[in-house]
Amino acid sequence: MTIRNDPGATTEHADLLIEHGIVITVDEARRVIEDGAVAVRGDRIIALGRTDELRARYSADKIINARHKAVLPGLIDSHAHAGHAMLKTLGGGDGDAWMEACQTIYTSASSPEFWEVDARLSALERLKCGTTTGVSMLGGGDSIMRVDDPIYAQRHALAVAETGTRSVVAVGPSRLPAPLAYVDWSTEPPRQREVDAAAMFEVCEEIVRTCDGQGDGRVRIAITLPVYAPQYEQSHQALAAEFRQQAQDYMGLARRHGLTFTQDGHRGGTLTLAHRELGLLGPTSFMSHSIDLTEEDIALCRETQTKIVHNPSAIMSILGRCPVPELIEAGVTVAIGSDGAAPDRGYDLFRHMFQCMHYHRRHFRDPDILPHGKVLEMVTIDAAKALSLDHEIGSLEVGKKADIILVDLFKPHLMPMNMPVYRVTCFANGGDVCTTIVDGKILMEDYVVRTVDEHAVLEAVQEESERMLERSGLRHLTAESANLWRAAQY
């Protein structure tokens, strides 16, 4: 629909005008505009303000009436795992069995189709719950990465690009020692081969060359490495030289291509080692989990401008605590990640915001810890800073990418119509997101996904899941635990 104003008035053209919404900008002034509007041309925001002001100024090809809706920057998930969405139901409460299943499936029972279908499933779940940008480690974090052949990352990247969301795909070597056995299911019979450190590096180089910038720049590659933790893992002491060589090689790759760097699983003291022995900290580094940090760890993050990604719903946050309030007060940028998917969590960042607030309030026995606006920053502008993308996304501002979501606030659990930031952070969930826009393109409108056939994606997921269970011999992990009912613990 085209909006036309007074024929005698001079108006500017917009491709899209979102009007009559509560615009939560997360801009420098943290403006919340009642009866607000956002004008979009191409992939950029060209104006924000009150609806009457923008109506008078612009004619638009498409109008979205955002009455009773919050208009927000697209949410950003700063840490998750490719592959996990297909496995999240396995093992029930047995975390060790689930992790072993990940290792078996990622190396020996996953085809290129598996990684493509998983990417479509994850991107679909994200866009439906308002996450327009997500980080995905290509496998199980610092333990097992699918880097025996570039085809797995290439199929993943292509699927995300076709869905229309943004993604940062983190690739790097599997955990030392190498070589590691992988099975290729594209041949008949399947072929097993040993993949050494040099071959993994060549694959990562090819992934960078072929995948970085796909989808009109919406898919970016990041580099990742296993965490060096000799104080926790005795085997690392004998591998110190290999860790140093990896750091030199992969950070060189990141610098040559202008890539960001991330790691999964830091604990107290390992950030200090990463900086002093491996040179991995810096303004383009974002480190996940980071539990039980030392004062020196925190000071080095502030000094080097390293960002931290907190995963409040993760198992690691049960085993230790990421000192989020302390990091923020020290001047360190902290983002939130889902660490999804897993047997107890998905990609819904509204859930993880809520978990984050209550996690730290319980620790300090203080309900004033982590104001609602701060946790919203942690999945928008602070997350954009963590990914070195704050010049493009993370807030609704003129000149930035038009990554925009609408949250339907006219629902029983979101009434009455006041205090919009509180309603979004405390009461909303991913199912309340009704419209998702990335790069100015409408991916979902009025809850209907427009870029992919949702039913076809889900059917393909089920078919590939069955093949994966047959290949791996792990169908027994779909059985209910004997202690699922009536017991106090698994």
Look at residues 287, 248, 286 and name the one whose alpha carbon lies nearest to residue 268.
287
- Residues 211/157, Cβ–Cβ less than 8 Å: yes
Burial 104-123 (b: 16+ CB within 10 A, else e): bbbbbbbbbbbbbbbbbbbb
pLDDT at 9: 57
pLDDT at 5: 46
- Residues 72/420, Cβ–Cβ less than 8 Å: no
Look at residues 131, 129, 108, 105 and name the one whose alpha carbon lies nearest to residue 118.
105
State how far the alpha carbon of 285 is from the alpha carbons of 52, 334, 412, in Å.
43, 12, 42
d(CA 382, CA 394): 7
d(CA 463, CA 117): 10
Cα-to-chain-centroid distance, residue 26:
19
Task: Summarize pLDDT for 76-115 with one digit per residue, the tens.
Answer: 999 999 999 999 989 877 888 888 999 999 999 999 999 9
Phi, psi dihedrals of residue 428, rounded to the nearest 5°: -75, 160
State how far the alpha carbon of 111 is from the alpha carbons of 182, 281, 359, 430, 462, in Å.
11, 34, 38, 30, 14
pTM: 0.96
pLDDT at 147: 96
Is 329 exposed, middle or buried (CB count within 10 Å of its CB: 0-12, 13-18, 19+)? exposed
Task: Kindly give the parts of the chain with pLDDT less than 70.
Answer: 1-9, 141-142
Helix axes 197-211, 151-163, angle to 10 degrees: 30
pLDDT at 253: 98
DSSP of 226-254: ----TTT-GGGGGGHHHHHHHHHHHHHHH
Phi, psi dihedrals of residue 108, rounded to the nearest 5°: -130, -10
Look at residues 218, 235, 247 and name the one whose alpha carbon lies nearest to residue 387.
218
d(CA 413, CA 133): 27
Q: Which token pair is 412?
A: 């029983």
Identify the helix (H) or strand (E) that includes residue 310. strand 307-310
pLDDT at 141: 63
- Residues 23/37, Cβ–Cβ less than 8 Å: yes
d(CA 134, CA 382): 14
Dihedral sign for Cα atoms in the order 395, 398, 401, 403? positive
